[in-house]
Amino acid sequence: MEEKTALGRRERKKLDTWRAIRHAALQLIAERGYANVSLDDIANAADVSRATLFNYFRSKEAILFDPDPEERDRWVAFMASRPADEAVWVSLEAFFLDYTGGYETKLRLQKQLQQDVPVRGAAGQDASARLTAFLTDWLRARLAAQGHDPEDAAFLLGVAFTAMSTAFARWNLNQDFAVFHDLIHRGFARVGRGLLTSP
């Protein structure tokens, strides 16, 4: 029992360090711009060595795009809280609104980087692949449980990601973050009504 408690403290310390590095990086990049912040700058701001930083992140890009280590647990808990008979399209909208809700600073930086630096490489693709795999598994299981074809998961998720990327593209950095969420809601509502209905 004591060993499990000690392991919990050790894992918590690792998580705190991961988040301290991410927080320091986001602050520095917001102040100076992505190109003007080095890994040494981030390590110094987080009060860790460069070697320690590389134990947690393989690149500066990864610091921006890697998901929080507890993020998947949050996804699982959120989707488990959705009513079993809720339409999957409604569940997906709720998921994406919740998913983006805690990341305003990170999303604003990513939006800025899209405009300034071609930064979305392997780290961004890895993060997207993890989210896609989770949602695909959840969708297939929920569709099957509701008596629908689980093969529809790929189509539904593709449309959902299109709605999300369109909302992100339309959102202006000068606008309040609530505007981004409104664009997500409007995109999901439009698809939910059917593309041939009037706007």
Domain layout of the chain by residue ranges: 2-57, 65-193
CA 139, distance to chain mean position in Å, is 18
Confidence category of residue 2, pLDDT binned at 50, 70, 90: very low
Cβ-in-10-Å burial (0-12, 13-18, 19+) of 42 comes to: buried
pLDDT in tens, 114-131: 666 555 556 667 778 889
pLDDT in tens, 8-36: 888 889 999 999 999 999 899 888 888 89
The fold for domain 65-193 equals Tetracycline Repressor; domain 2 (1.10.357)
State the pLDDT at residue 3: 41
d(C-alpha 194, C-alpha 68), whole Å: 35
CATH code: domain 2-57 is 1.10.10.60
**125-159: burial string, b at 16+ Cβ within 10 Å, e else:** eebeeebeebbeebbbebbeeeebeeeebeebbeb
State the pLDDT at residue 102: 83
pTM, 2 dp: 0.81
Confidence category of residue 132, pLDDT binned at 50, 70, 90: very high
Confidence category of residue 44, pLDDT binned at 50, 70, 90: very high
Rg of the Cα trace of the chain? 19
